[in-house]
Amino acid sequence: MTCASSFRRAFAIVTLATCWPTGASAYLGGFEEADGYRIPQNGVISSLGFVGDAMFYLNNNSVNGFTGIVPASTFPNTLGDSTHGSDLSRYNAGEYGTNAGGPGGTATDIADNTGLWKAMVGGRLNEDIGGTLANGYQYLGSTGGLVFSQNRDYVHAYRYTGARSGTQVLNFLAQDTNLQYDYSLDSRDLGGTNPSATLASIIAMTFWFCPADTDDTDAGNLFGLTLRDALGQSLVSVGYTGENVVQHRMTGSGGSWISSGSQVGTQGWSEMTVVLNTQSDTVNISVRAYDDLTATLGSSVSILTGQSLGVDANALTDLRWDLRGGTLDNGAVSYKNYFDDFSFNVAPVPEPGSALCVVLGMICLLRRSRQITS
């Protein structure tokens, strides 16, 4: 089989075996209402009064009970901010909407941490600790007789005029302490493939990110996104430092964060692509960095190619998000970290000799998708 014919066959495997529509995004997607992510402008989420759940109240009046309308910084006017959505662990985030064959429906209160998104450390868990008002919600100070929270800790959909596409982004903020959130992949993410069926597969994930500039000069790792399998193993992590230098970590083999030569800007969107092979237990990572000085997106730079995971990977089922919070090395507090436009492609591992061509074909698909959606 020639290289050209092998490439065509690999391309067919990607496009036909996965039934993946060009430009598809789902559950994670672009964090729009149609992807299943609510901001108050799209309608408030009435609390269903689940025992143990914290609630935010309009003017601290329990009669007006809603679930996690906005961060505490807007208290007591919790209906006055149309941009900050509820924390994703409080409602059915990503489980409704019509994009990518979604079921429709609407945002609904759920018992905290029972959906696709779960707060594991910090975030809204930190906000909930030790409070005396509004069913255990924590307020840290007061002025002029109004009680408020000094800092904010959450993961939510956010209405942002600089979104890469659409009008909303995913926003991570950890001003008080570190946060860790887990996200369970769904077949809607993977174009109809059940995550449990991704053993012996090649999974290509691409996403766009825009970090903050307030944490610059902090050379330590600030953010990490870890791919986890059905056995609960951490396979590989990608992330960046406070100075926005792209990093990776082979978590399966207990490695440390390794900085690359790529530094991304904070005034525009950069792109990360991770191609995981759960058959050969290897990973490829590449990045296209936005340059603030030239206001342009650079070409793709390879960070890793065929790197061993150091662990026998099972099916890819989860993503773990970690953000370092509190006071950083430069004295600042951790600020906004925006994410947008997640895409996935899944293909079975092909016959020996064709795997590289499949990877190239998948990357071509993702780039074609970007050209259409840009």
Q: Look up residue 162 and give its two tokens.
A: 């600089």
Q: Please calculate the CA angle 302-308-310 and round it to the nearest 5 degrees.
A: 140
Q: Please calculate the CA angle 113-159-177 and round it to the nearest 5 degrees.
A: 50
Q: How would you write 323-351 as a 3-class SS string?
A: ECCCECCCCCECCCEEEEEEEEEEEECCC
- In terms of pTM, does the model score above 0.85? no
Residue 71: asked if its preceding bond is cis (omega within 30°), the reply is: no
Taking residues 117-140, report their average pLDDT: 63
How far, CA to CA in Å, does 272 sit from each of 41, 219, 247?
A: 30, 20, 11
Q: What's the confidence (pLDDT) of residue 16?
A: 32
Give the integer Cα–Cα distance in Å for 56 and 63.
Answer: 11
Q: Look up residue 89 and give its two tokens.
A: 């662990």
Print the domain residue range for 306: 3-373
Taking residues 16-22, report their average pLDDT: 33
Indicate whether 117 pLDDT > 80: yes
- Domains identified in the chain, total number: 1
Which tens digit of pLDDT belongs to each residue from 224-245? 999 999 999 999 999 999 899 9
Indicate whether 67 pLDDT > 60: no
Taking residues 6-24, report their average pLDDT: 35
**pLDDT band (50, 70, 90) for residue 52:** confident
Tally Cβ neighbours within 10 Å of residue 99.
Answer: 17
Which tens digit of pLDDT belongs to each residue from 338-368? 999 999 999 998 766 555 555 566 666 555 5
Run of H or E including 159:
strand 153-159
Q: The CATH number of the domain where 281 resides is what?
A: 2.60.120.200
Indicate whether 86 pLDDT > 60: yes
Name, of 12-26, 64-78, 239-253, the range with top average pLDDT: 239-253
Mean pLDDT for all residues in the chain: 79
334: Cβ–Cβ under 8 A, 6 or more apart, which residues? Answer: 173, 174, 175, 212, 215, 222, 323, 324, 325, 326, 328
